[in-house]
Structure 1
Amino acid sequence: MIETLKVKGMTCGHCVSSIEGALKQNGVTAKADLASGSVKVDYDATKISREKIRTIIEDQGYDVV
């Protein structure tokens, strides 16, 4: 499943790397876009839920809106 999530609080390249890395560890392919404040995620819904993805991002210190 592919979705785009709006994320508040990304301000630099480290933010992008932090989010992408945390999601990758959980089997999610992610591409964060600093300019648009969004993260495009590609995941297997039978293995991880959208809510879990949201929690992973929020645990990194960002808000999913």
Structure 2
Amino acid sequence: MSCGHCEKSVSAEVAALPGVTEVAADAKAGTVTVSASAPLSEEQLRAAVDEAGFALVGQAA
């Protein structure tokens, strides 16, 4: 991600996942922080980020 438009694209795709309650994308840091009411699989997150045109490179607990 390199700009606010990128942040919005990733945020919109991730926010559409079931149970997601909050998304905070930070282009400068290259991170997306997600809060959800139920666990999300890495596959779900990877697909959403991919749909926005980016690649998931890691996942923190």
Structure with the bigger percentage of strand: 1
User: What amino acid does structure 2 have at the position aligned with 1:23?
Assistant: V
Q: Deviations over 1:6-54 (max 9, x none)?
A: xxxx011010001111111224221001111010111211xx4232011
Q: TM-score, normalised by structure 2?
A: 0.74
Q: TM-score, normalised by structure 1?
A: 0.71
Provide runs of 4+ in structure 1 moved above 4 Å. Answer: none
Give the fraction of aligned pairs with identical amino acids, expressed as a percent: 33
- Secondary structure of the 1:30 match is strand
Deviation at 1:58, TM superposition (A): 1.0
* Structure 1 stretches lacking a partner, 5+ long: 1-9
Higher RCO (CA-CA < 8 Å; seq separation 6+)? 1
Q: What is the aligned partner in structure 2 of residue 5 from structure 1? A: none
Q: 1:14 aligns with which of 5, 11, 16?
A: 5
